[in-house]
């Protein structure tokens, strides 16, 4: 068998915020102030994803921080503002489709990357959840938020694992943690770390499509495959390995650990638990060696 390593690409691990808001919709601060705040926290990528409108702040990019155009679209149920939220990155206008699948394909055709925001959020009069059957039927999206301050991380992680399992190894789905920043007190609570060769929009897009990212609310980590074993080095105090079915197969009460997958695992994912929060790796698929 062989283990697919989503991080087996040259590059440097950099911080990215893929979900935040400005005065372009319901955020408190203008784009310039939002980007500057993340720049001061050491972020290399910032995507301003205002509600149902694209606030293009790419002019604020420089060699150290790349600002990505994006939008958080409400999928109407039956009409806006009711419905779940679809994260759309690298797009210059909101998708016009009225169904989730059609909106995802519209984003993909425009060269963008789509994802499911806060799957278990109960807002919009309980219409905003991404249900199990819907996640199972959707195709073409490349990330799911496993942590958002407005959602339940346990349920969101479950949705992400289901999406990974249903989409398969040919279509990676990355875990994302996000601030969903609107106002003071919501900055720097959740983000993703991406493996990129350069601080450019194209490099970030390719990393997300490959699943070369991990979500975190604080712990730092490095993941990979060495001699057939999935390994992790983290500053978290505990490392847990899970197989595709959701069962935990190995736990180590220190930040450095490894696990050699078995064929029946399907895929292996890693969670790092520490005093500063949690980190979630992408999936390491276990496949027959051709």
| Nearest Cα residue to 226 out of 264, 266, 270, 259 | 259
Q: Alpha-carbon distance 161 to 282, whole Å?
A: 10
Is residue 208 predicted with pLDDT exceeding 80? yes
- Tell me what pLDDT residue 43 has: 98
Is residue 190 predicted with pLDDT exceeding 90? yes
Q: Exposed, middle or buried, 186 (CB in 10 Å: 0-12/13-18/19+)?
A: middle
Question: Which band of pLDDT confidence, cut at 50, 70 and 90, is reported for residue 2?
Answer: very high
Question: Which band of pLDDT confidence, cut at 50, 70 and 90, is reported for residue 255?
Answer: confident
- Tell me what pLDDT residue 68 has: 96
User: Which residues are within 8 A (CB) of 18 and not within 5 positions of it... i.e. 6 or more apart?
Assistant: 45, 47, 49, 68, 70, 87, 89, 115, 143, 176, 178, 191, 192
For 206, phi and psi rounded to 5 degrees? -65, -35
% residues pLDDT > 90 (the chain)? 96
Q: Alpha-carbon distance 108 to 158, whole Å?
A: 25
Question: Which band of pLDDT confidence, cut at 50, 70 and 90, is reported for residue 227?
Answer: very high
Helix (H, G, I), strand (E, B) or coil at 164: helix
Question: Which band of pLDDT confidence, cut at 50, 70 and 90, is reported for residue 290?
Answer: confident
Q: Alpha-carbon distance 143 to 153, whole Å?
A: 15
| Nearest Cα residue to 258 out of 280, 229, 235 | 229
- Tell me what pLDDT residue 253 has: 94
Question: Which band of pLDDT confidence, cut at 50, 70 and 90, is reported for residue 192?
Answer: very high
Helix (H, G, I), strand (E, B) or coil at 238: strand
Q: What is the mean pLDDT of the chain?
A: 97
The encoded tokens of residue 195 equal: 């493996």
The mean per-residue pLDDT over the stretch 5-18 comes to: 97
- Tell me what pLDDT residue 254 has: 87
Q: Alpha-carbon distance 158 to 81, whole Å?
A: 26
The per-residue pLDDT for range 13-68, each reduced to its tens digit, is 999 999 999 999 999 999 999 999 999 999 999 999 999 999 989 999 999 999 99
- Tell me what pLDDT residue 265 has: 97
- Tell me what pLDDT residue 241 has: 98
The mean per-residue pLDDT over the stretch 88-110 comes to: 97
Q: Alpha-carbon distance 93 to 177, whole Å?
A: 24
Question: Which band of pLDDT confidence, cut at 50, 70 and 90, is reported for residue 170?
Answer: very high
Question: Which band of pLDDT confidence, cut at 50, 70 and 90, is reported for residue 289?
Answer: confident
The per-residue pLDDT for range 119-169, each reduced to its tens digit, is 999 999 999 999 999 999 999 999 999 999 999 999 999 999 999 999 999
The encoded tokens of residue 46 equal: 């910032």
Provide the 10 A C-beta neighbour count for residue 199.
18
């Amino acid at each position: 068998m062989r283990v697919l390593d989503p991080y087996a690409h040259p590059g440097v691990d950099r911080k990215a915020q893929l979900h935040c808001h400005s005065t372009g919709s319901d955020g408190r601060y203008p784009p310039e102030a939002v980007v500057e705040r993340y720049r001061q926290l050491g972020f290399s990528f910032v995507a301003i994803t205002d509600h149902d409108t694209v606030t293009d702040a790419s002019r604020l990019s420089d060699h150290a921080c790349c600002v990505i155009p994006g939008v958080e679209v409400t999928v109407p149920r039956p009409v806006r503002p009711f419905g779940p939220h679809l994260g759309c990155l690298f797009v210059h206008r909101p998708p016009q489709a009225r169904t989730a699948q059609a909106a995802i394909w519209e984003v993909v055709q425009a060269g963008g990357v789509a994802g499911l925001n806060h799957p278990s959020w109960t807002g919009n009069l309980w219409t905003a959840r991404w249900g199990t059957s819907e996640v199972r039927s959707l195709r073409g999206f490349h990330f799911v938020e496993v942590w958002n301050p407005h959602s339940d991380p346990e349920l969101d992680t479950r949705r992400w694992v289901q999406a990974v399992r249903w989409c398969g190894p040919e279509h990676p789905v990355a875990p994302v943690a996000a601030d969903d920043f609107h106002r003071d007190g919501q900055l720097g609570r959740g983000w993703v770390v991406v493996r990129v060769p350069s601080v450019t929009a194209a490099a970030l897009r390719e990393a997300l499509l490959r699943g070369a990212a991990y979500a975190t609310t604080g712990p730092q980590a490095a993941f990979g495959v060495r001699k057939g074993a999935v390994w992790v080095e983290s500053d978290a105090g505990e490392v847990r390995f899970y197989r595709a079915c959701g069962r935990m197969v190995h736990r180590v009460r220190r930040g450095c650990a490894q696990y050699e997958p078995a064929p029946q695992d399907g895929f292996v994912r890693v969670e790092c638990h520490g005093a500063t929060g949690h980190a979630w790796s992408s999936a390491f698929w276990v496949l027959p060696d051709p």
